[in-house]
Structure 1
Amino acid sequence: MTASNNKRPSHIVWQVVGEGDKARWNRIGAGWPNRDGKGISLKFDALPLDGRVVLREHEQNEEAAQPSSE
């Protein structure tokens, strides 16, 4: 399982604590597609102890804004 040579991640890994408008989104890692296209390699900068983990496609302006609640 190896990630492609693309340096920019295709996905961002988030920890989400809470629900709805009161949810807190904390960026905890990133993901890159595997060369065979059948998976995503994840790199975690932190491991959450609570909440849930959400993997979302990386968007150009995602650095400045949090994703909407799911």
Structure 2
Amino acid sequence: MADTRNKQQKTSPKAPDFLAWHVTQKGDKSYWNKVGAAWAHKDSAGYTIQLEVVPINGRIVLRQPIEDPREPATDQEGA
């Protein structure tokens, strides 16, 4: 009989709920650089944030990812 109590199920990676952007202001312009992502916890009580870099100035803004408008839509009716 196989022991399956302590085996973790393999799941495909989940897309992030938010992208993390480092925003700096220079004059009248804002410069946005993607620095990481955030995923909601299963209990919806918090987030896990993964940053590739940690900025020392400016601010970090979390924004929901948007689809690239240059890519074709995948949910076309009647296709």
Q: TM-score, normalised by structure 1?
A: 0.72
Q: Which runs of 4+ in 1 moved over 4 A?
A: none
Alignment map for 1:32-51 (pairs within 5 Å): 32-51=39-58
* Higher Cα Rg, which structure: 2
2:48 and 2:23 map into 1 onto residues whose CA distance is: 20
Give the total of aligned pairs.
58
Identity %: 34
Alpha-carbon distance change, 17 to 6 in structure 1, aligned in 2, over 3 angstroms: same
Q: Greater helix share, 1 or 2?
A: 1
**Over residues 9-61 of structure 1, what are the superposed CA-to-partner deviations in whole Å (9 max), with x where a residue is unaligned?**
01000000006851000100001110001111100000001101101111122
RMSD of the TM alignment (CA)?
A: 2.2
More relative contact order, 1 or 2 (CA 8 Å, 6+ apart): 1
List gaps (5 residues or longer) in structure 2: 1-11, 70-79
